[in-house]
Structure 1
Amino acid sequence: MSLVSCASQGEARVGNALSGDGTQSSGVVGTDHAKVGQIWWFAFPVVHNTSDNPISITGVSLRRVPKGIEVLKYGAYDRNDTEGLPLLALEGDSAGPNFAKLKDYARRSVVVAGGTESDIFYVVKLRILAPPVQSARYCRFSYKQGGQTYTQEIDCEVHLKTD
């Protein structure tokens, strides 16, 4: 299985197992000095399963992608491989992770035990095509728990202003 945008929700119920209180869900990440043509990696809020039962993350998507920004891919990486959580990273910047050389866990679902926070975090790779008309926002997670499929949206926002 490959982790992709969760466009079709079908029989999914609205879930509530994920915490929406993290750093990324309470502010805006971004830069005022982005340039057309650049590629940025934006980290979704870390998956924190507040329920008592395990969940299996099956997909993620950035719900509002403004004109001027293109989604290139979604990925899942281990915080131990990136020396922490890179909230926003410019591709090719020596200060950030080289995602191309890291193991991408998005090829299959990631299980998060009840009451725990995952070491695996999700990212979206974005290309700036033109000055964005607004920020990109709203991180949606699809997951399975107890044989049922759920989706849950957590507020997140990345502002890539071109100079």
Structure 2
Amino acid sequence: MQSTGRVGTEHAQVGEVFWAALPLPNNTSGDSVEIEKARFTEIPEGLKVGEYRVFDTEEVGGIYLLAYSGGKYGTKDPEKLTNYAGNSIHLKGRQESDYYFAAKITVTGPVHGDLGGCSFLYNQQGREYKQKLPCQTAIRLGRPLPDNN
């Protein structure tokens, strides 16, 4: 979804922290791959990336494309989910992952552009590869959403 569209919010506040998902890994080849890491390569002024984690879609109940830290608005708190970073994601040929990468994003000021350029580092048959996928996550300052918690 993220590699074909744009996700985001127009209600961010300076100091707020979000978790932004990168595209769900999908091995379209016939050979197994080991995905080592994924990163946003385009980080606009006004946003700061703190860390990357790997989450299990089963534990999350899907994928949080963009989630507030702290479990705001009824989501599970990404900070309290198991972090599988440090272990590579193994995908057999023609398999979609049950795990996804997400970046911890802090809003530091007015945002000038989108998070983008999702880059994956993986190994296949003993060779290292880097693949960049199009992706866009827009975080903009605006009126805060009402907190119903």
**Residue equivalent to 2:23:** 45
1:139 aligns with 2:118: yes
2:76 and 2:121 map into 1 onto residues whose CA distance is 26
Superposed CA RMSD in Å reads: 0.9
**Aligned residue type for 2:58:** N
1:97 and 1:44 map into 2 onto residues whose CA distance is 18
**Residue equivalent to 2:135:** 156
Identical residues among aligned pairs (%):
33
Tell whether the 8 Å contact from 2:67 to 2:78 is kept in structure 1 after alignment: no
1:62 aligns with 2:40: yes
Matches within 5 A, 1:86-101: 86-92=64-70, 93-101=72-80
Matches within 5 A, 1:1-150: 23-92=1-70, 93-150=72-129
Q: Unaligned regions of 5+ residues in structure 1, if any?
A: 1-22
Displacement of 1:39:
0.4
Displacement of 1:103:
1.4
TM-score, normalised with respect to structure 2: 0.91
Displacement of 1:58:
0.9
Displacement of 1:97:
2.4
Describe the superposition over 1:55-100 as per-residue Cα deviations: whole angstroms up to 9, x where unpaired. 0011111010011110010010100000111111011214222222
4+ long deviations beyond 4 Å: none
**Aligned residue type for 1:151:** K
2:18 and 2:140 map into 1 onto residues whose CA distance is 12
1:25 and 1:135 map into 2 onto residues whose CA distance is 13
Larger relative strand fraction: 2
TM-score, normalised with respect to structure 1: 0.84
2:13 and 2:20 map into 1 onto residues whose CA distance is 16
